[in-house]
């Protein structure tokens, strides 16, 4: 598949093998999410390019397929407040490099693709003494 001429992306690569299901790591080296799906765009010259990385159950459900996939998507949809919820989206311009992981130039808090993490942090973990204590 022809790729895009952006920093971080090689000109040409196999997105299925080198992008999908890879770990996304933020600028501090913390895991953010997996590349659950990708958004493709047609460039001016007619070739396909990766426009964004999609994360979360809303992106993973359709890729899982079958009943487990439908359930994943349905539960995620029900838990969202929006009329037509969209999966978490990381613009391809934020990608700084890919090796064993996909590195992005923002922090996890700025990306805001991990709704469940923030919910659990706010309502559960932060209420337990010692939640801010690292090793």
Cβ closest to another protein, residue 55 vs residue 92? 55
Taking CB under 8 A as the rule, does residue 33 contact another protein? yes
Binding-site member from 3, 4, 9, 34 for another protein (CB under 8 A) = 34
Of 82, 83, 84, 135, the residue at the interface with another protein (CB under 8 A) is 135
Query: Who contacts 100 (Cβ-Cβ below 8 Å, separation ≥6)?
Result: 22, 23
Q: Would you count residue 120 as binding another protein (CB under 8 A)? A: yes
N-terminal to C-terminal alpha carbon distance within the chain: 44
Would you list the DSSP string of 5-17? -STTS-SB--HHH
With CB under 8 A as the contact rule, which of the stretches 1-9, 39-47, 65-73, 90-98 interacts with another protein?
Answer: 65-73
């600028």: which residue's tokens? 27
Pair 32, 104: CB distance under 8 Å: yes
Distance between CA atoms of residues 57 and 36, nearest Å: 8
Q: How far, in Å, CA of 35 to CA of 21, rounded?
A: 5
Q: Which of 5, 6, 12, 31 binds another protein (CB under 8 A)?
A: 31
- Please report, as ranges, the residues that interact with another protein according to CB under 8 A: 21-24, 30-34, 36, 55, 60, 63-66, 68-69, 100-101, 108, 114, 116-118, 120-121, 124-126, 128, 130-135
């Amino acid at each position: 598949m022809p790729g895009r001429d952006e920093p971080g992306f090689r000109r040409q690569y196999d997105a299925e093998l080198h992008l999908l299901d890879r770990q996304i790591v933020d600028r501090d080296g913390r895991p953010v999410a997996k590349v659950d799906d990708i958004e493709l765009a047609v460039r001016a010259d007619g070739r396909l390019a990766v426009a964004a990385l999609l994360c979360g159950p809303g992106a993973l459900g359709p890729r899982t397929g079958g009943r487990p996939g439908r359930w994943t998507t349905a539960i995620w949809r029900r838990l969202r407040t929006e009329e037509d919820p969209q999966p978490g989206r990381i613009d391809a311009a934020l990608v700084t490099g890919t090796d064993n992981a996909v590195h992005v130039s923002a922090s996890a808090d700025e990306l805001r693709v991990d709704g469940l993490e923030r919910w659990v942090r706010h309502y559960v973990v932060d209420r337990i003494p010692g939640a801010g204590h690292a090793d």
